[in-house]
Homo-oligomer: A and B are copies of this chain.
Amino acid sequence: MLLLVSPIDVEEAKEAIEGGADIIDVKNPKEGSLGANFPWVIREVRKITPKSLLVSATVGDVPYKPGTVSLAALGAGMSGADYIKVGLYGVKNYNQAVELMKSVVKAVKDFDDNKIVVAAGYADAYRVGAVDPLVIPKIARDSGADVAMLDTAIKDGKTLFDFLSKEILEEFVSEVHDYGLKCALAGTIKKDHIPILKEIGTDIVGVRGAACKGGDRNKGRIDRNLVRELKELC
């Protein structure tokens, strides 16, 4: 299982790299759960990250605007992101989501066919009116994305498992694999969740708080030792 870690600056990114993270994830929490960061920040993180590691970047908790979002996805790819994550926030159903993700896939793959496109939904989608998390696998499949992902939309301490049971998540992973895609899971993941995620076959696990001193995603800083401990569990 690959470990994706979300630093908030270059210094934290270095800790994550030292700790053995597989994917360095550039987000901007000020703009939401999957908030986009600026082109110059993505470029900087790509610069300090070894070639062997992947950089992921999100284009935001996006509205249902395929034009705007596909331009942003292109901008993220061009800034050096290998993984391009789209938070399906303002799309309300399968049809809208597939339409939007198809545009993103075309915009990104036209630019560089090796980029990996991630369709990300929210386990607590009902709290924000977004498309249901259980529909994400079909959306990823039918839009040509590479990875189906879940996170939580509202960061209030509740975790992925507060919204979806282990059984339902296991079905989710299995459905994604049936479609020949990879599966990424995140959402205030604690250390204790990692063996469960591994057991059910998750391909990529995303963390931030669990890699921070004191387990606090806001006040703590990413620590290489904590990253290493998490990586060992993957």
Contact = CB atoms under 8 A, between A and B. Distances in A.
A110 B75 CA distance: 13
Interface string A191-202: 000000000000
Interface stretch (A34-42, A47-55, A214-222): A34-42
A interface, size bucket: 35 or more
A71 B132 contact: no
Contact of A74 (B39, B63, B164): B39
A144 interface: no
A107 B168 contact: no
A36 B63 CA distance: 12
Best-surrounded residue of A35, A65, A92 (most CB of chain B within 10 A): A65
Nearest to A62: B68
A119 to B, nearest CB: 15
Contacts of A79: 71, 74
Nearest to A123: B93
Interface string A62-99: 11011111111111101100000000000011111000
Interface of A: 28, 30-32, 35-40, 59-60, 62-63, 65-76, 78-79, 92-96, 103, 106-107, 110-111, 125-126, 129, 131-132, 134-135, 138, 163-164, 168, 171
Given A31-B65, A39-B70, A78-B78, 16 more contacts: A36-B67, A36-B71, A39-B74, A40-B107, A60-B67, A69-B72, A71-B79, A72-B75, A75-B78, A93-B132, A93-B163, A94-B134, A94-B164, A95-B163, A126-B131, A132-B135
11 contacts: A31-B66, A37-B67, A40-B107, A40-B110, A68-B68, A68-B69, A71-B71, A75-B107, A92-B126, A93-B125, A132-B134
